[in-house]
């Protein structure tokens, strides 16, 4: 009985994507990065579930939506360890991990106040110069910054 209740908490969707192991406090950043507010398909957002992996986690279920690798790579700045379960006909057919891209475009702000991207209406571009240590380098001013401390655009 108890098990059934738990299973219902993360109830299945027929087709779509279940984003799991999101650190709970990052749940809404994931919503923003994937632009889930503007989808017309059903989206279920849950957070503060207990998790052995991340302490307290968020889960997002998106029906009838499959994200591109490019969209998924955007998540590397907020939640590099999350897993996307691809669901078809109620079954998990694939699990995707977030892969840190070589370049981040228009996702994070430069922390150099003098950088042109903070003074002109333009998109930021960062090169990921060290993936394991999470170091980004601004394409315009060359300032390096730590991936887990950046501010999102
Ligand atoms: Zn810059």
Output the 3-class SS for the chain: CHHHHHHHHCCCCCCEEEEEEEEHHHHHHHHHHCCHHHCCCCEEEEEEEEECCCEEEEEEEEECCCCCHHHHHHHHHCCCCCEEEEEECCEEEEEEECCCCCEEECCECCCCCCCHHHCCCCCCEEEEEECCCCEEEECCCCCEEEHHHCCEC
For 20-77, the pLDDT digits (tens) are: 999 999 999 999 999 999 999 999 999 999 888 778 999 999 999 999 998 999 999 8
User: Cβ(19)–Cβ(67) under 8 Å?
Assistant: no
**Given this model, what pLDDT does residue 5 score?**
53
pLDDT per position as a tens digit, 97-117: 999 999 999 999 999 999 999
Give the pTM.
Answer: 0.82
Ligand 1 centroid–CA 78 distance in Å is: 19
Q: Residues lining ligand 1 (ion), CB within 5 A? A: 110, 112, 115, 138, 140-141
pLDDT classification of 1: cutoffs 50, 70, 90: very low
Distance 118 CA to ligand 1 centre (A): 8
Instruction: Compute the distance from residue 106 Cα to the ligand 1 centre, in Å.
Output: 12
CA 24 from chain center: how many Å?
A: 12
d(CA 104, CA 106): 7
Grade residue 11 by pLDDT with cuts at 50, 70 and 90: low
Distance 18 CA to ligand 1 centre (A): 34
Ligand 1 geometric centre to CA of 126 (Å): 8
Query: So what's the pLDDT on residue 79?
Result: 87
Which range among 3-12, 13-22, 82-91, 93-102 shows the weakest confidence by mean pLDDT?
A: 3-12
């Amino acid at each position: 009985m108890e098990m059934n209740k738990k299973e219902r908490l993360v109830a299945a969707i027929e087709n779509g994507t279940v984003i799991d192991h999101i650190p709970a406090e990052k749940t809404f950043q994931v919503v923003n990065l994937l632009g889930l507010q503007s989808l017309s398909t059903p989206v279920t957002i849950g957070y503060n579930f207990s998790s052995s992996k991340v302490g307290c986690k968020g889960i997002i279920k998106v029906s009838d939506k499959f994200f591109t690798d490019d969209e998924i790579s955007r998540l590397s700045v907020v939640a590099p360890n999350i897993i996307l379960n691809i669901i078809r006909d109620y079954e998990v057919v694939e699990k995707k991990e977030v892969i840190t891209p070589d370049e981040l475009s228009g996702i994070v702000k430069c922390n150099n106040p003098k950088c042109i991207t903070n003074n002109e209406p333009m998109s930021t571009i960062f090169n990921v110069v060290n993936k394991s240590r999470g170091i980004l380098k601004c394409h315009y001013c060359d300032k390096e910054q730590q991936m887990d401390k950046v501010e999102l655009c």
